[in-house]
Structure 1
Amino acid sequence: MKKTLIALAVLAASSAAMAQVTLYGVADIALGAVNATGVKSDANMKTNDAQNDGNSRWGIKVVEDLGGGMKATAQFEQNIDYSTGAADVASGRYAYMALDGGFGRIKAGRTLSPSFFGVAAWELTGAANFSAVANQFGFAGGGSRNSREFSYTTPNMGGFSATLGYVTELDGMENGGLGSKLDANAIYAAGPLAVGLSYWKNDKVAPGASTDGNYSLGASYNFGAFILAGSFQDAAGPSQGWSLGARVPVGPWAFTVDVAQDTGFDDTDYLLYAGYSLSKRTTAYFDYRRDGKSNKAGGKSAVDADIYGIGVRHNF
């Protein structure tokens, strides 16, 4: 459980404002292996890999009440490699500031992208590292994070919200890109239904690359005994396809079957997952993903790969 601390200014003779500081993290360790032609298949420890539920990390979040229904937020996260104790590059995760109010949210910095949130709204694994959808289509083809992003998110209106993110041309070039980037989503989540639309497009592309926009439209519906989810994906260029899966909760257990096919590359991924909740914060899990071989020229993968993992995730 997240431990919430109340940070008070310690400068003498000052009546400083009060801010809420939350320290939190994830510890995720698995034993995993890959079985594919030309790949060594011996099992070894995995901490921030495709076999893990999520990356191990720590973070700090500071929220200050500004009054009038407004608040300021700053958040920072850093990956942790639990196999060595090393802290990974800080730019891999959150580093942003935000202003919230009745108008919605304005945010700036390094953050999960609007496209990510559009997919995570309906995806069955919670956008886990082993997700068939994420590994096949990469959150509408754009990855999960943007650096130097300015964004605006609307208030929640009866379950509907939308986010518009923008990376300026200069910031895009300094990120290693070719120009500005537009990244957006529209999400409806109320009752048993969740729908998410993701869209992004770069202002400039490499010579010969597609100038098409990239989008994903998916939905999930909770029938009680099971959850059904499906999507249509169309990233720029030849990549496009669909996904279909189900999640079945049985007491402390949860079972997921998911299929993601890129028809543009004739490449199909499969996921089988079983998770057991040891507590509200700790889950033991097993995952198996079949990373399919592309059967068209210039495909994503040259061989089939079987990827296994068994591990424990602890949120604190």
Structure 2
Amino acid sequence: MKKHLTMLALAGSLTSPAFAQSSVTLYGILDEGINFTNNTGGNKNYEMASGYAYGNRWGLKGSEDLGGGMKTIFDLENGFDLSSGRANQGGRMFGRQAYVGIATDQYGSVTLGRQYDSVVDFLGPTTANGNWAGYLFAHPYDNDNTDNSFRVSNSVKYTSANYAGLKFGGVYGFSNTAGQLANNRLMSAGASYVSGPLTLGAAYMDINNVGVGSAGAVAENDASFFAAHQREFGAGINYVVGKATLGFAYTHTTLDNPTGNGYLTPASFPTGVSVSSLKFDNFEVNAQYAFTPSFFIGGMYTYTSGKYDGSNGSAKPKWNQVGLMADYNLSKRTDVYVQAVYQKVSGSTGTFLDDAYITGTDNSSSTNKQVVGRVALRHFF
């Protein structure tokens, strides 16, 4: 008996400090609503759709104090469709995030796993879709990933500490293909600065053979576009004036030898047509006004200028998109919101790019115009 009591006391002395210095948090977001789209493939569509303003998720995150100002951190985050219960992000169990790393208050953190890129971390928050509006407000086909369309698998990431409002970092996603270091490899870097009412953000990203196979940084069932090379950069600014927040963001995306689009899979360029280059320049202005702490309205206008070069000729398509949103908090964790978005495309390429497609709708329009409306309930836990 004495031996058993001694062992129990020893076990208690070993485990108690660990519990005192460690923490694990269960969290999540549930976003469910009804969408109406005036034209999807030539028909009107009423549908239940989830995860639009914020993607549905549940996750476990935590840390362990290692002493000397150092700690272990981790996050396992699952994304799912609330309407059907199926897993999102290509059916991955922890498709939104899955990483472990070391963090210090003085130098920042190094994490390894499946993570967000620098565009999402530093530039996205200056846009409407990457901050308060979500999916439907994304730039055409989310060509710049400000709406988190894909994550970076097999990645190592550095995020600095906060130095008087300045933060910076970078991500490297491995190809995980023997002898092919640059096959579906990703590199990105970015920085942000926050001082009083001012927020600035900028980022750069470079991906080789994006969407090729399932082993690389951005797999086929992750990518927004499939291409031999994708490069993008951009910058944005938000400024708070009283109850209003005003924003502007610019992003540029270049796709070399694109072959198709992930949103409209298996959409590809017409048979016999090869495309050497596709470029997007996105200019966004956005505004948000908080009438009360519980109620805000927001608006966004995006002008996107494209440049298409293919074996069937060259073209300069244009996208004009307007979005409006109103959100009311029923409590600290539950809110209801309504959204409406209109898009018009001009300039023929002879491809699927000619038809209006608001990111998140069931299908592209049969014309160059599309309108979608949404009403939804959201809960945080």
Residue 252 (structure 2) pairs with residue 246 (structure 1): no
Tell me the equivalent position of 2:338.
286
Match among 12, 34, 37 for residue 31 of structure 1 = 34
What displacement does 1:81 show? 2.7
Would the alpha carbon gap of residues 70 and 170 (structure 1) be closer, same or farther in structure 2, given more than 3 Å must change? Answer: same
* RMSD after superposition: 2.9
* AA of the residue aligned to 2:353: K
Would the alpha carbon gap of residues 205 and 112 (structure 1) be closer, same or farther in structure 2, given more than 3 Å must change? Answer: closer
What is the DSSP-based 3-state SS (H/G/I as helix, E as strand, rest coil) of the residue aligned with 1:246? strand
What displacement does 1:92 show? 2.5
TM score, norm. by length of structure 1:
0.85
What displacement does 1:85 show? 3.5
1:157-177: CA deviations, max 9, x gaps? 111111110012336999xx9
**Kept in 2: contact 1:73–1:99 (CA 8 A):** yes
Tell me the equivalent position of 1:121.
125
Q: Structure 2 CA distance, aligned partners of 1:12 and 1:276?
A: 53
* AA of the residue aligned to 2:34: L
* AA of the residue aligned to 1:256: G
1:62-117: CA deviations, max 9, x gaps? 21111111111111111233223344422531111121012211011111221111
- Count of aligned residue pairs for this structure pair: 302
Counterparts of 1:92-103 in structure 2 under 5 Å?
Answer: 92-101=95-104, 102-103=106-107
Counterparts of 1:186-205 in structure 2 under 5 Å?
Answer: 186-203=191-208
Counterparts of 1:1-316 in structure 2 under 5 Å?
Answer: 13=11, 15-16=14-15, 17-18=18-19, 19-36=22-39, 38-48=41-51, 52-88=52-88, 89=91, 90-101=93-104, 102-125=106-129, 126=131, 128-133=134-139, 136-139=142-145, 143-170=149-176, 178-203=183-208, 213-236=231-254, 237-251=278-292, 252-264=294-306, 265-297=317-349, 298=351, 300-302=353-355, 303-316=368-381
Q: Structure 2 CA distance, aligned partners of 1:144 and 1:309?
A: 23
Q: Structure 1 CA distance, aligned partners of 2:153 and 2:229?
A: 21
Q: Structure 2 CA distance, aligned partners of 1:290 and 1:82?
A: 25
1:121-169: CA deviations, max 9, x gaps? 3223516122244855433698441111111111111111111100123
Q: Structure 1 CA distance, aligned partners of 2:48 and 2:174?
A: 40
Q: Structure 1 CA distance, aligned partners of 2:38 and 2:54?
A: 21
* AA of the residue aligned to 1:161: K
Q: Structure 1 CA distance, aligned partners of 2:243 and 2:348?
A: 39
* AA of the residue aligned to 1:151: K
**Kept in 1: contact 2:245–2:287 (CA 8 A):** yes
Would the alpha carbon gap of residues 100 and 199 (structure 1) be closer, same or farther in structure 2, given more than 3 Å must change? Answer: same
Structure (1 or 2) with the larger CA radius of gyration: 2
* AA of the residue aligned to 2:295: W
Would the alpha carbon gap of residues 227 and 263 (structure 1) be closer, same or farther in structure 2, given more than 3 Å must change? Answer: same
* AA of the residue aligned to 1:226: A
Q: Structure 1 CA distance, aligned partners of 2:84 and 2:352?
A: 35
TM score, norm. by length of structure 2:
0.72
Q: Structure 2 CA distance, aligned partners of 1:200 and 1:275?
A: 32
What is the DSSP-based 3-state SS (H/G/I as helix, E as strand, rest coil) of the residue aligned with 2:80? strand
**Kept in 2: contact 1:116–1:145 (CA 8 A):** no
* AA of the residue aligned to 1:269: Q
Would the alpha carbon gap of residues 296 and 27 (structure 1) be closer, same or farther in structure 2, given more than 3 Å must change? Answer: same
Tell me the equivalent position of 2:313.
none
**Kept in 2: contact 1:141–1:235 (CA 8 A):** no
Q: Structure 1 CA distance, aligned partners of 2:63 and 2:154?
A: 21
1:32-89: CA deviations, max 9, x gaps? 12111525423221113xxx21222211112111111111111111123322334442
Would the alpha carbon gap of residues 172 and 143 (structure 1) be closer, same or farther in structure 2, given more than 3 Å must change? Answer: farther
Would the alpha carbon gap of residues 202 and 185 (structure 1) be closer, same or farther in structure 2, given more than 3 Å must change? Answer: same
* AA of the residue aligned to 1:93: R
Moved more, 96-105 or 28-37: 28-37
Q: Structure 1 CA distance, aligned partners of 2:283 and 2:234?
A: 9
